[in-house]
Amino acid sequence: MNQIIKLTGIEAFGYHGVLPKEREIGQSFIVDCELEVEATQAVLKDDIEHAVDYGAVAELINSEIQGEPVNLIEVLANRIATKILHSFLLVRSVEVTVHKPSAPIQVPFSNVSVTALVTSE
């Protein structure tokens, strides 16, 4: 039995971007994450030992946003998704969207985002 876990609006400060100014002063990034997880044992046994700890997933996301800078949010989204997939054995697929609401764009906008989808198959 598969279930979906969604975490939305995880916000942290990072130094990702192509421009030197982005690397110097940094900015906030927001991540949404959707996990498809194998939940049979969790549902049958009602035991955290058989479930994905979404608090730990949130901490991993936070750590990656604050971690080593990359030029492209495409790389950050893929790095987060891949790390989640490899760190949590019950995760079958993960979709990660990285939002960069303060991107250096010269026209009015509300958000820029990139979504990575990684599966175990």
Domain that includes residue 68, residue range? 2-119
Residue 16 belongs to domain with CATH number? 3.30.1130.10
- Write down the pLDDT at residue 121: 72
From first to last of the 121 residues of the chain, give the pLDDT tens digit. 999 999 999 999 999 999 999 999 999 999 999 999 999 999 999 999 999 999 999 999 999 999 999 999 999 999 999 999 999 999 999 999 999 999 999 999 999 999 999 998 7
Q: What is the pLDDT of residue 28?
A: 98
102: nearest Cα among 34, 37, 15: 15
Overall domain count for the chain:
1
83 is catalytic: no
Give, in order, the Cα–Cα distances in Å from 70 to each of 6, 21, 40, 120. 25, 13, 37, 24
Q: What is the pTM of this model?
A: 0.95
Q: Are 16 and 76 in contact (CB under 8 A)?
A: yes
